[in-house]
Structure 1
């Protein structure tokens, strides 16, 4: 089988100026990086109104069998352009760490990719590097402030800000810094998050412009004083320098799909500790320049889509005109209890047992949120007609169409039926209903997400979390939306509970405020913000030839 990188390298990219011209962006409005990627000067488009329909691509609960959400999103965008619509896809930038770990790249797959695939998966235009520098600048200013006399009376045992690095490195999760003599600093516990988990990543992706970003950076809570008062980046006078580092990173990146259609690839926040969507700025610009905008939310619909609808959409001022829910027969059979080695064989019983996972996500998007929804069956060669028919029949019981899409093998040509359904749905009136009001108490917001979206019987709140809720509401953060951090592998907080579990409660163990990003993070367990490498890292297979051609990247 031909690898993703081999498919990608078989296509000659068009000049990025020609790609940008397709959606009305002139050369003067571009900041070109080489010949096939560029940044867009935002202020050139401030006067334009939005005209596009917003299509949100989400998925069932992830499994090791794979769902292909990014691949379907890119293929759908190509298909929309193929049927004569001016469409732009807006997706996240991959984090470099997972590229060298177990996940590999995140630029789509097969004949449904964005290019240059190698650059996008590695250094790209330097956005993640800039975010890491801004993050670590703040960390350095915190430690220097303490060393120089600690005028703000920062409690060194209650510093919540960590350093960041865009690499999977478990060795850096927790350490003690400042060891040695007095000139080496003040000893205290510290640690690293991967850059995608940095609050600065989430803050940049929810900012509307550079000045808004600077104001948000100033609000970041870095820890607490010995009196228990929050200490912010603004009090450390850090926001100006941090914004200066990020002045180019905030500009959206434009590249192209394999079919030479414009694609915005910008920002990459995690979908559990943060909201898991590409930048608000990029989505807003795409809505001004395209008739359709295909965007993606991370992980399953209970995480990424919920956060898009409850955190991003209010900030964007627009809800999706249609939702595409991606599923594979293979993954549904795994939800039904089948072993990964048995997925290539037809098994209608396992499929029936796994279908409730898909149907709960469909119910949430269509009935709870009130959005026009279609299921995209990301087709594999091993899918049988009986299996595909079963998925379609069960979705139709809920009044939802399920349409096959072979975008890995055919690109946009394999998703034209899906594109036509999306166009039809996007013209239908939507009756969007938010699942909580921002003025609801924090605990009520958590309970509404847990019961309405996860299907839980309720929540249990640990003692420290209760104290944090009371404290944050007292400090004036109670009206912020919530961002629940839980396992992506289950509706519940138990990663081994597949399908559509019932009779469970969601444990609330820790609460903290991301005041710069503008949401409250609710932890339901141990949240991995610095991954480790697997026993056989993908990095071992990546190489480069004498002429600079990268191999082994997938």
Structure 2
């Protein structure tokens, strides 16, 4: 079989303007970036407001393993199959971060014959949205330190006389706005800035751009005005009296919004068989909410019968955050859920090692089935129908596949279908597409997991018990203090964005399968007043990944023609 990039390059691409018109956009509602990408103008939103809305299919997965579950391949393959069946369909996917691209993942355009193309354009820069988020975020960081420097250099009275601005008296030890970059760089997790009389000196750190609250603002905003308001509400620091200082008070919110004026527009691309796909906002459902944007969904739902999107990692992560954060911001709830699983991954949950993972092992599969059963039950508690997609690998045996199909139905799945989209593209996902179409005919009574109006502590307890299977939540001393501060700042009734390991339903990556009865430790809480949620940190969670011993960038290069090699 050809490599992913070879398949991408031999695909006969349609002009992106043709894809846009096919989807129902008018010529003045998009701007082409060359022949393969286009920005969709937000002026389309008022026109679509009164349109009947399509159905939303949310693709999620079991708990991730090192063997890969193929969630993006399944999302794209399903989109291709629905397109081939004559449905008006659009995928809404997140833009890949260059951190994983150059780190371990190597790309996030799908794979095989289920890809967004051209894959190298999607994986590298695209139309620059993530860089725009980095620039706007770091402008706020620079503005904070510049204000600190000038106020301390001149004193409050002289600063006001020279600048005409009121001194903010920022407490340098209580700046809560870090810096960001779109690379994995563990050396920047803890740094000291202001050295050499460029101070004041203080501790700081970098997060990866996808973890920026500004990325969440971009994803959850409904239009430019909403984005501008949210940016103004960003909590940047506290003054010496303990009062909050926002981006609006610092005077930087308008400039940040200006930087993001085009980044708020989704980028239109296409699948291998010419189905439209809107790419917008960033990944990482372990440290962010991990979903595509509200605006991309709104545009796609207004123009199509079916929209396929995906939430990052397992159903305890991106799916949960779609349902409890994004759905509250957009009013859009899923109509059907596709839950991706593989024989390899389930055996991995039973402790089977990489050297043995490709061999038949029904006993291990039966033990690992507990993880899939948990995720099926998790989706069903939201009142949603679930189709299990078994992503088939060449070494999978018919007997084990049939056992898994039966077990998944017995666990509560509405349907179970094999997916071979990687090898066969749309043809390999046709049965899955037909099962999804059938599920979309069901009436859905969506049930969120918790009610934020009951307060943060109650929401944390509900999320821990119902969302992860914990017996209780335990807040550290620091988290208790932060909870009191968030309540005082008026954030007690916001939804929760849990930052936790993606490698287990629990907070402990060593706990595989379906752990229960554990205590969920919350070591910190952070108010994201612009995004409109509170981040809860379940254990020591890194918001800046590091590069591994053999990073993905070692494979990348350009040939004599300037074409990228190694994806």
Please, what TM-score do these two structures have when normalized by structure 2? Answer: 0.96
- CA positional deviation for 1:269: 4.0
What is the aligned partner in structure 1 of residue 164 from structure 2?
none
- CA positional deviation for 1:66: 0.6
Query: Aligned match of 2:559 in 541, 545, 553?
Result: 545
- CA positional deviation for 1:172: 1.3
What is the aligned partner in structure 2 of residue 167 from structure 1?
183
- Following the alignment from structure 1 to structure 2, what is the Cα–Cα distance between the partners of residues 525 and 228? 27
Where do 1:384-403 residues align within 5 Å?
384-400=397-413, 401-403=415-417
- CA positional deviation for 1:13: 1.3
- Following the alignment from structure 1 to structure 2, what is the Cα–Cα distance between the partners of residues 73 and 356? 24
1:17/1:26 contact within 8 Å kept = no
Query: Aligned match of 2:61 in 59, 62, 67?
Result: 59
Pairs aligned (count)? 550
- CA positional deviation for 1:174: 1.2
- Following the alignment from structure 1 to structure 2, what is the Cα–Cα distance between the partners of residues 197 and 275? 9
- CA positional deviation for 1:114: 0.2
- CA positional deviation for 1:314: 1.5
- CA positional deviation for 1:490: 0.3
- Following the alignment from structure 2 to structure 1, what is the Cα–Cα distance between the partners of residues 240 and 2? 59
- Following the alignment from structure 2 to structure 1, what is the Cα–Cα distance between the partners of residues 273 and 81? 10
- Following the alignment from structure 2 to structure 1, what is the Cα–Cα distance between the partners of residues 112 and 26? 30
- CA positional deviation for 1:28: 2.3
- Following the alignment from structure 1 to structure 2, what is the Cα–Cα distance between the partners of residues 404 and 275? 29
| 5+ residue gaps, structure 1 | none
- Following the alignment from structure 1 to structure 2, what is the Cα–Cα distance between the partners of residues 29 and 440? 42
Where do 1:5-404 residues align within 5 Å?
5-48=5-48, 49-149=51-151, 151-181=167-197, 184-366=198-380, 368-400=381-413, 401-404=415-418
- Following the alignment from structure 1 to structure 2, what is the Cα–Cα distance between the partners of residues 326 and 267? 22
1:101/1:534 contact within 8 Å kept = yes
- Following the alignment from structure 1 to structure 2, what is the Cα–Cα distance between the partners of residues 214 and 273? 24
- Following the alignment from structure 1 to structure 2, what is the Cα–Cα distance between the partners of residues 27 and 411? 30
Deviations 1:314-370 (A, max 9, x none): 21112111000011111000001100221110100111111110111100111x111
Q: Once superposed, what is the RMSD of the aligned Cα atoms?
A: 1.1
1:201/1:269 contact within 8 Å kept = no
What is the aligned partner in structure 1 of residue 523 from structure 2?
509
Please, what TM-score do these two structures have when normalized by structure 1? Answer: 0.98
| 3-state SS of paired residue (1:391) | helix
2:522/2:536 contact within 8 Å kept = yes
- Following the alignment from structure 2 to structure 1, what is the Cα–Cα distance between the partners of residues 169 and 403? 63
Are 2:520 and 1:518 aligned? no
- Following the alignment from structure 1 to structure 2, what is the Cα–Cα distance between the partners of residues 353 and 115? 38
- CA positional deviation for 1:438: 1.7
| 3-state SS of paired residue (2:355) | helix
- Following the alignment from structure 1 to structure 2, what is the Cα–Cα distance between the partners of residues 158 and 546? 51
2:376/2:412 contact within 8 Å kept = no
2:96/2:283 contact within 8 Å kept = no
Are 2:434 and 1:434 aligned? no
- CA positional deviation for 1:84: 1.4
- CA positional deviation for 1:50: 4.1
What is the aligned partner in structure 2 of residue 411 from structure 1?
425
| 3-state SS of paired residue (1:47) | helix
